[in-house]
Amino acid sequence: MSTHFYEPAAGHGLPHNPFNAIVAPRPIGWVGTVSEAGVHNLAPYSFFNAFNYTPPIVGFCSVGDKDSLKNVREVPEFSWNLATWAQREQMNASSAGLDHGTSEFEAAKIEVAEPKLICPKLVAAAPVQFECRVTQIEQLKTASGDDVPSWLILGEVVGVHIDETMLEDGIYQTARARPILRGGGPGDYFTVTDNDKFFMPRPD
C-alpha cells in the first residue's frame, strides 16, 4: 500500500489540509454567549464534542481570541444549539466575521428563545438546546510545552431542552432532526439520516 506521509510542522504538501477531513464529520458547536455589556453572540465551532456523561460536559475550542472566548471569560456560561439541515443557512450566516459588539442573532435574523438557568440566549428553532456553565478554560500547548493561540472551553450541561417530536417512546431519535456535521475542505458538511444507521451492541 502506498501512503502519503507528512510531518504537520513541515506542511502537508496537498492542495488542502487533510486533517479536518480525516477527523470528520464533527458535531457543530453552535454556541451562544453573552458579553458583560449584554451583547449576545452566536458562532458555530467545528471543534466541538461531548466529553463526559455524569455530569454531562461538552466543550468547544476557540482558535484565536474570538468573541465567544472573551464572553465566557466575562460571563462563564454558554448555550449549545443543535445545528440541523433546516437551519444550515442561518448557521452558516452566523459564522460571518462581524465587528465586535454586533450580535449574530440580529445580523442573521435568528429568533431567540429564553433560557431557564443561564444568561446566553438559545436558538429558538433548534430542536435541542443545552444550557451550560463553564468549568474550565484551558490554553492548548504543543508537545514541547509551547502555548498555542487556541483555547478549550468546557462546560457542564445544567439544562437540556428537547423538542418532543424528537422523542419516540421516550427515546431520542438522532436522525430525526437531521443534524449537520462539519467535514473538511473549504465547505464540506454532512447530515445524518436513518439510511446510515446500523445496530451493533457492545460485547458482554
Kindly state the cell numbers that stand for 153: 472551553
pLDDT of residue 49: 97
Decide if 98 contacts 104 (C-beta within 8 A): yes
Assign 175 a pLDDT band (cuts: 50, 70, 90): very high
Give the helix/strand (H/E) hosting 21.
Answer: helix 19-22
Decide if 33 contacts 81 (C-beta within 8 A): no
pLDDT of residue 96: 80
Residues 6 or more apart from 155 whose CB is under 8 A from it?
A: 57, 58, 59, 77, 78, 132, 133, 134, 135
Write down the residue that cell numbers 507528512 correspond to.
6
pTM of the model: 0.93
Assign 21 a pLDDT band (cuts: 50, 70, 90): confident
pLDDT of residue 158: 97
pLDDT in tens, 79-137: 999 999 999 999 999 988 767 767 888 888 899 999 999 999 999 999 999 999 999 99
Distance CA 83, CA 60 (A): 14
Residue 24 pLDDT > 90 = no
pLDDT in tens, 26-83: 999 999 999 999 999 999 999 999 999 999 999 999 999 999 999 999 999 999 999 9
pLDDT of residue 153: 98
pLDDT of residue 100: 73
Residue 148 pLDDT > 90 = yes
Chain-centroid distance, C-alpha 53: 17
pLDDT of residue 92: 92
Phi, psi at residue 142, to the nearest 5°? -80, 175
**End-to-end Cα distance, the chain:** 35
For the chain, domains (ranges, CATH) are: 20-193 (2.30.110.10)
Distance CA 52, CA 152 (A): 15
